[in-house]
Structure formats: C-alpha cells, structure tokens
Chains A and B, each alone.
Chain A
Amino acid sequence: MIESMIQFILAGLTSGAIYALVGLGFSIIYNASHVINFAQGEFIVIGGMSTVALLAAGVPLPLAIVLATLVTMLVGLALARFAIQPAKDADVVALIIITIGASIFLRGVVQLVFGKDIHSLPAFSGETPLNLMGATLMPQSLWVMGISSALIVVIAWFFNATLAGKAMLATAYNALAARLMGVDTKWVLLSAFALSALLGAVGGIVVTPITFVSYESGIMLGLKGFSAAVLGGLGNGVGAVAGGLILGIVEAMSAGYLSSAYKDAIAFIIILVVLVVRPNGLFGKKGIDRV
C-alpha cells in the first residue's frame, strides 16, 4: 500500500520536475513580454534531439549536453528576435498564433534535421534500480530531480540577487517605469527567451533517457508546462514550480489508482476546478479593473 504510494509520488515528482521547468520557462517569458510561448515544448525536443545527434557523431556526453543547450538557447534568441519583437504591438490572440506557428515551424525543422524516429539517450549513471522504502527508483529520476532543483535554485538566485534578474522583474512589474529607469527592455525579452530555452533544453536532456524523444513530444510537454504555469498563477515562478509538481503527482496518482487512460483528463479537471475557484491560479494575485 505505502510502497505503491511512494512509487507513484516518485514517478510524479520526476515528471513534475520537468513540468516545473517548462512552466517556469512559460512564466519567465510571460513576465518579460506577456507572451505565452507555445513553442516552449519544442525547446525540450531540440535539447534532447541535439544531444542525441551530437552523441551519435562521437561528441562526449558532457560536451554534447553543453553544445545542445547552447543550440537551443540560440533558437530561443532567434524566436524572440525574429518572431516576437517584430510583433510587439499585436494583441494576445495574434501572439498566441505566432508562437503556435513557431512551434509548428520548429517541429518541421526538427523532423527535417533529425527525422521522425523516436530516440533515446543512455542513462547518465546506469540502469540499476535503487530501492527506496520498498519502491524502486531509476537513478536517472534522481538526475532529473537533482538537476531541476539545482536549476530552480539558480533561477531564484538570479532573479533575487543579480542586477540583471532584478531588471527583468522590474520590467515584468512595469515595463514603462523600467524603461525610464534605464532598463533595456529589448534585452530583457531576449534574455527571457534564452533563459527559458535553457530550462527547456536541460529538462529535455535529463528526461530523454526515461521518456525518449521524438519530433512530436513537445506538444504534450508544452501543454503540461502551460498548465503548470497557469495552475500556479501566470508570471509567478514559485507558483509554476509548485504547479508542475502538483500536476506531476496528481497525474501519477490518477494513473495508479484510477485509470491510466484518464490520467491526463483528471489533471485537466483539477486545473479547471482550481481556475473556477481561483481565477488567477493558486498563487496569482487578484486584479482590479481600473477605469
């Protein structure tokens, strides 16, 4: 009883960690530009696929990981520079279409460059399961949770303790005031995309040994990340991380105890209930219409 519960929680935390990273990426971009980047899931795919390709080309794994992350960040920068910046004044729906277009575009590129096959990476430290209070745990899950936690701590430090991070937060709060104080908001937009690309790429790389990667896997991961960000309250980094973990655990529990076919449906029902009760997410602030 207890063992299976621990088993589900561990599985939930593993996928939840990835949702948290993607959700955090959504939040960072949303803060910088009020854009919901539906191409967020593609960062995961590009990170994972590039690592696979580089490894196959004989590059050692650590170097392949660094290079793949850089490639993904370049893609993120290009997306911000060539698709988002030129459409700065477009309304919400137009921006949604642009980022959905970008995700289709990137998916096409991935398919062209890496093909339609499903790929995997070797686990970083072997495939021998660990035993944890009767539940089994793949060592790669520890990598996923560890790397995600480390990244989240670094991001928190970046926003709270560095000048660049504070400038980005100030822009999120009031872009005009930030501009008047000398913050280059164009730079903020580019950094936000680079940063979320980094989160996506690293998440994609560490999770590929468990979930595999194909040109299509970004769609559902992107949706889950969006859900995590909305669940926590858009633009709230802590909320996105919490939302991701909650989502992962709820999914694993529903798959284990209720029905694996309905696990995604149950996750979405919970999100709907949360939104109906708290229209701005779990940790979002209530807005007042100003007239």
Chain B
Amino acid sequence: MTSMLPSALRLPPALHRHRGLIILAALIAVLPLALRNDYHYDVVINAGLNAIVVVGLNLLIGYAGQISLGHAAFFGLGAYVSAILTTTYGWPALGAMATGIVVVGIVAYVIARPILRLKGHYLAMATLGIGVIISIVLNTEAQVTGGPDGMSAAPFTVLGYTFASEQSWYWLVGGALLLTVWLSTNLIDSPIGRALRALHGAEIGARVVGIDTTRYKVLIFVISAMFASFAGSLFAHHTPTVTPSILGFIKSVEFVVMAVFGGMASVMGSVVGAFIMTLLPNVLAAFEDFEPIILGGIMMGTMIFMPKGLVPTIAKKLRRKEAP
C-alpha cells in the first residue's frame, strides 16, 4: 500500500502503523453524537467488548492460522472470576480482573500445550470440546456460579470512582478497545508477530529458520485467551447478570464469525466485524422471525463473495482504484 502512494504523502512509520488506531479513536470520540438513549449505548458497549475478544482471537486465527471454536469459554471464565471474587469475596474490581486474566492465562497454557499439536478440523474439535466442558462445569456448579440463573458482579469501582452511567462505561470500553488495538498492532509488527505470520504462511519454512512454532502457537493462544478474559471481566461488571449462555458454543462461533466476516489478519477488520455482527441482530430484530435467515444468509454470502472478509476486500478495491 505504501509503495503506491507518492512519497510526499507517506506517513511517518509510527503514524502509518497506527493509522487504524487513529481513525478508531476519532470514531469513538464522535460516535456519542449519534447515540440517543441508554439502549444505544448498551449495544455499542457490548460491541466494543466483543471487539476486544475478536481482536485477540484474530491474532490466533487470522495471523497465526490456528482456529479456536472455544474462545467464549475464556470470555466467560474471566466474567465469572470477576463476578465471584467481587461479590462472594468482596475483592476490588481491578484485582479480580487481574486474577481472572492470570487464571485464564494459566488454564489456556495448560490446554494449549497438548492440543495445539493438532491441525485444522481436529484443532477445531478440541477447542470446541474445551469450550463445552468449561461451560458445562460453570452451568453445573451452581453453589459457586449460580448455575443457569447466573450471578451478578459488584459495580466496577476504580480508585473510588464507580462506573455507573452508560456514558462512563462507553468511555471505559472505548479506552480498553483502543488499548487492545494498540497492543495487538505493535505485537503483529514485531519479531513475535512475524514468527506468527510465518508459521501461518509456511510452517516448515518457519521452523527451519529457527522458529519454535509450537512455542509461538501456545503463546498466541494464551494471549488471545487473556484478551478474552479482560473483556469478560468488564462485561461481568456491566451486565446485570452473568449467565452460562455467554460462554457456550454459539457464542464461540459468533466470535469466530465476527473475526472472519470483518477480515482475517486485520485488526481493524476485527473491530468492524464485531460492531456489525453485534449491531445486526438488533437491527434485524425488526424482522423478528426472519432474523436467523438473514444472519445465516449474510454469513454465507460474505464468505462466498469475499472470502478474505469485509475490510481487506474493500481495502483491496480502494487500492486498485488508486493505482493507474
């Protein structure tokens, strides 16, 4: 892309790398002008939380080429750790959140070592199984988790300030999303990020130049699980009740769909995918019974007509127009 622009127009490298982040920050700053009520805020906040999970998941799927059909379990685990520690044990919110991230990181690490040797559909099956198992455990251990009825987390209080209004949550989640995007963009454009993309591009080629591919697969699985846990903790404090439905197979699939729909190996694609796929059901609610048909149709149509996802396909079209 850079090579096509006249050199006078080329941005300094740091700005160029983070051009998506800058656009996103601007959008987050002006979006409240279009939000009319708490319901609007609520939808956008959930979209932002989903976006955090999906940006992390895309590091695994889009960049490293490893699928996970169980990521909702890490999102849900983070949510439950926050809910349980803040209500049952009275922990401060940030401490609970950090504990959740560490716990999920450890769980993901223990799981990742054996299963990331698997490839393709077998890995899909294994991650799916892990997700189902975690979801069943949380559903069944009712005395700890509240079972199918779920449980609530204490309000999110940091340094004496409690995030109560939807507006305050909007800025909190907006900031968290920008942080996630910034960290992820940096990671992708580093030796670690190149190793991840290399093992996706040609695994044996990566190994012979000295990349311990198993180590990097495990690393990125753990990191993406930790991002999911981070979003899950925030979600727990924002939602009235945390229920097992947030960590089931369907939710895992939704995350993957957001990542793929928005664009594989595209951080901004993940954000766009998460927003559209979160907003869509709310828009389609007007069509009531036709909602799943339209949703399924959009999923199939996108993958058939633009298999690289929305953002990369549009970016390619724009580039072609620019070029003579």
Contacts and interface: CB of A to CB of B under 8 A. Distances in A.
B133 A97 contact: no
Chain A CB count within 10 A is highest, among B115, B122, B204, B257, for B122
A133 interface: no
Contacts of B297: 101, 105
B290 interface: yes
Interface in B133-151: 133, 136-137, 139-140
Contacts of A289: 203-204
Query: Interface extent on B, as a size class?
Result: 35 or more
Contacts of B307: 87, 89-91, 94
A114 to B, nearest CB: 12
Interface stretch (B22-30, B158-166, B248-256): B248-256
B292 A104 contact: yes
| Chain A interface SS verdict (over half) | helix
Interface stretch (B123-131, B217-225, B235-243): B123-131
Contacts of B303: 87, 90, 94-95, 97-98, 101
B122 A275 contact: yes
| Chain B interface SS verdict (over half) | helix
A230 B304 contact: no
Nearest to B67: A93
A265 B137 contact: yes
Interface string B243-265: 00000011001001100110010
B123 to A, nearest CB: 9
Query: Interface extent on A, as a size class?
Result: 35 or more
B118 A279 contact: yes
Given A87-B307, A272-B115, A100 B253 contact: yes
Interface string B195-228: 0000000011000000000000000000000000
Interface string B103-127: 0000000000011011111101110
A275 B125 contact: yes
Given A87-B304, A98-B303, A291-B204, A272 B129 contact: yes
Given A106-B296, A112-B290, A265-B133, A272 B126 contact: yes
